[in-house]
Every structure is written in structure tokens, then in C-alpha cells.
Structure 1
Amino acid sequence: MSQSASKRRVLVIDDSEAIHTDFRRILCPEPRKGKNDLDLLEEALFGPAAPTRGEGPNEPEFELDSAFQGQEGVAKVTESLTAGRPYSLIFLDYRMPPGWNGAETLKRLRVVAPSLPVVLCSAYSDYSWTELMREFGKSQVLRELRKPFNGQEVRQMALALTEPRSPG
């Protein structure tokens, strides 16, 4: 299995470049190049540090793609399925002017990939969670994340929702 095939593929659909940067920093952290003086002093005082996220031998890696509008996101999901490299998870913004909003994008994603986990993200409450549940049904593959979000919460949610499921 190649390295890229072992990564969990995540698509971020959001109209803000800064949000894509935040998700990349959280899910695809740059490996540390070496230890600085403070790291060496800390190690001398407290002993070797435990591996941090992305450094452990069994820590899954993420491959992150970006779409800046709902239409582009649905096209990328369709292409990924055709290519045999489906996404494991989508983080989807509620508001993405001037195109489809999150609810419209989700409707179209459910036609293309009905069981693909989606996390709806927003700082606004254009739709209540109750309204969304009424429209899309209660589902283990639909979650909500409020902005501004906590990096640890995003990472834990991504790990949990991309965990390989056994068939049946």
C-alpha cells in the first residue's frame, strides 16, 4: 500500500482561505525538524517528551483537499469516487456566498455519496440542528462543529469519523 493510499482523505468545503489553512495546520502538521534550546532544556529537566500529534508510529495521516464552493466540492467528491479514491470525511461550511449554502450542498452530496461523513461548520445559526435533522434524518455520519473551533476537537472528530468501519 502506498503512503498516499494509507492516508485518510478529507475535503474541506468553505469559501474562506483562512479556514482551509486552519484545517491544514490541524490535520496535516509540519513535522518538527529538530530540537531547539528550549526543547533540549525541557528534555534534560523532565526526560524525553511523548510523541505529539502526527509523530506517533500509529497516528493516522490525513490528505487534505480544498473546495471553495459547494458545486466544486460535489464535483470533487464525484471525481474521487470515479477515480476509486473516495474521501473519508467532509468539513462543510453553512455559508458560502454566492453559491450553494451548506444545506443545498449537503442535499447534493447525499445523492452522490449517501454514507460519506459530513461535519457542518458555522459561526452562524442559519439553520437549527433540529431543522437539519428533520430534513436529513438523524445520522451517525452528520455532525456539527461551531466556529471558532478548537483544533483538538477537530482532530478528534476527524479521527473518529474516518476510523475504518467493518462491513455489515
Structure 2
Amino acid sequence: MSNTSDKRRILIIDDSEAIHTDFRRILNPEQRRSRNDLDQLEEVLFGPAPSRASASLEESLFEVESAFQGQEGVAKVREAEAAGRPYSLVFLDYRMPPGWNGAETLRHLRTVSPALRVVLCSAYSDYSWAEMLQKFGEHHSLRELRKPFNGQEVRKLALSLTEQRDMH
């Protein structure tokens, strides 16, 4: 397992705690569940679960952090840049009442970290994808992901976009 400094840093900016939990489960499967009574009963009945030691390296690639509003997310990106530990990728919600929406947050993120890769996520959009690309350009650093999202799609996006960032 790689140590924390080797992991690709991802920031989730979304006002829903459930979304943060979903991203953590998708991006860090080995941390998917804590042992509860049902897990313990299963172990008593069926024996210990197979070791996760054989899990792929990809499962431990990500260090996932959370921000629940745009302003908090921009502050975290600024702090990470200043500390020399920048994020490789941000998953950003379009709508986060009562604070900044995704477009406003993205505008501020671009001033703090212009090359930061961002995936805009929402079931609803106040802006069309064409409007977002026209406003922010650079299609290679900006993507869109519709909720409800597919776990495999999230993981593929995270792997490819953080790999691209690491190469630059």
C-alpha cells in the first residue's frame, strides 16, 4: 500500500454529505465498510473474509478530502498549493446552496490553480455544457459528470485525469 504522500489528492466540493460518502466508497474501496455487527456475524458463520492484500494498487491511489461549500473548497485548494501538496483533481457540484454555485466556485478555482482538473457534477445544471466550455474553455481540464453517477465512470475519470495531471 502506498503512503499518503504518494497518493493522488482529490477534493470533493459538494453540499451533500451522502455524495462525499459515495465518492470515498468509489475511490477508496478498501475503506468501504467498517466492521459492524453484521460483518462479525458473517465472519462467525462463514469464516474470515479473504485478505484484501491481493487488491490492486489502484485501490489505494487516492487521498480524498472534502469541502461542503465553494468558498471552503477554494480555501483548501489555496492552502494545498501553498503547502506544495496540490490537488490533482476536484469533483465540483453545480448547485450548493446557500453559497457559491459550481460556476462561481470554478471561476475562483481558476484564479488559484489555473491548471487544476475539475469535474462538474450534478443532476441539474443552471448552465449548458457548451456555456461552461465557452466561459472556462480548456476542455482537457474540465469535464462533466451527471448524477446519479456510475462508480466505474467516476473511478476511470479519477484515474485518467489524475494521471494526466501527474504527467504535467
Cα displacement (A) at 1:30:
2.3
1:146 aligns with 2:146: yes
**Equivalent residue, structure 1, for 2:39:** none
Paired with 1:99 and 1:79, the residues of 2 have a C-alpha distance of 20
- Indicate if the aligned counterparts of 1:96 and 1:102 stay in contact, CA closer than 8 A: yes
Q: 1:125 to 1:6 in 2, by over 3 A?
A: same
**Equivalent residue, structure 2, for 1:62:** 62
- Indicate if the aligned counterparts of 1:121 and 1:147 stay in contact, CA closer than 8 A: yes
Q: Deviations over 1:27-56 (max 9, x none)?
A: 0112699x964999xx9xxxxxxx6xxx11
- Indicate if the aligned counterparts of 2:28 and 2:60 stay in contact, CA closer than 8 A: no
Task: Using structure 1 for the length normalisation, give the TM-score.
Answer: 0.83
Give the 3-state SS of the residue equivalent to 1:96 in structure 2. Answer: coil
1:117 aligns with 2:126: no
Counterpart mapping for 1:80-95 below 5 A:
80-95=80-95
Paired with 1:78 and 1:18, the residues of 2 have a C-alpha distance of 25
Paired with 1:159 and 1:38, the residues of 2 have a C-alpha distance of 34
Q: 1:98 to 1:25 in 2, by over 3 A?
A: same
**Equivalent residue, structure 1, for 2:127:** 127
Q: Which runs of 4+ in 1 moved over 3 A?
A: 35-40, 57-60, 164-167
**Equivalent residue, structure 1, for 2:9:** 9
Cα displacement (A) at 1:60:
5.2
Paired with 2:128 and 2:60, the residues of 1 have a C-alpha distance of 33
Cα displacement (A) at 1:165:
4.3
Paired with 2:73 and 2:58, the residues of 1 have a C-alpha distance of 30
Paired with 2:58 and 2:124, the residues of 1 have a C-alpha distance of 36
Give the 3-state SS of the residue equivalent to 1:159 in structure 2. Answer: helix
Query: Greater CA deviation, 132-141 or 57-66?
Result: 57-66
Q: Which amino acid aligns with 2:91?
A: F
Q: Deviations over 1:62-88 (max 9, x none)?
A: 000000000000000000011111100
Q: Give aligned pairs, total.
A: 154
Paired with 2:24 and 2:139, the residues of 1 have a C-alpha distance of 26
Task: Using structure 2 for the length normalisation, give the TM-score.
Answer: 0.83
Cα displacement (A) at 1:58:
6.0
Give the 3-state SS of the residue equivalent to 1:126 in structure 2. Answer: coil
Give the RMSD, CA atoms, in angstroms. Answer: 2.5
Query: Greater CA deviation, 131-140 or 87-96?
Result: 131-140
- Indicate if the aligned counterparts of 1:8 and 1:60 stay in contact, CA closer than 8 A: no
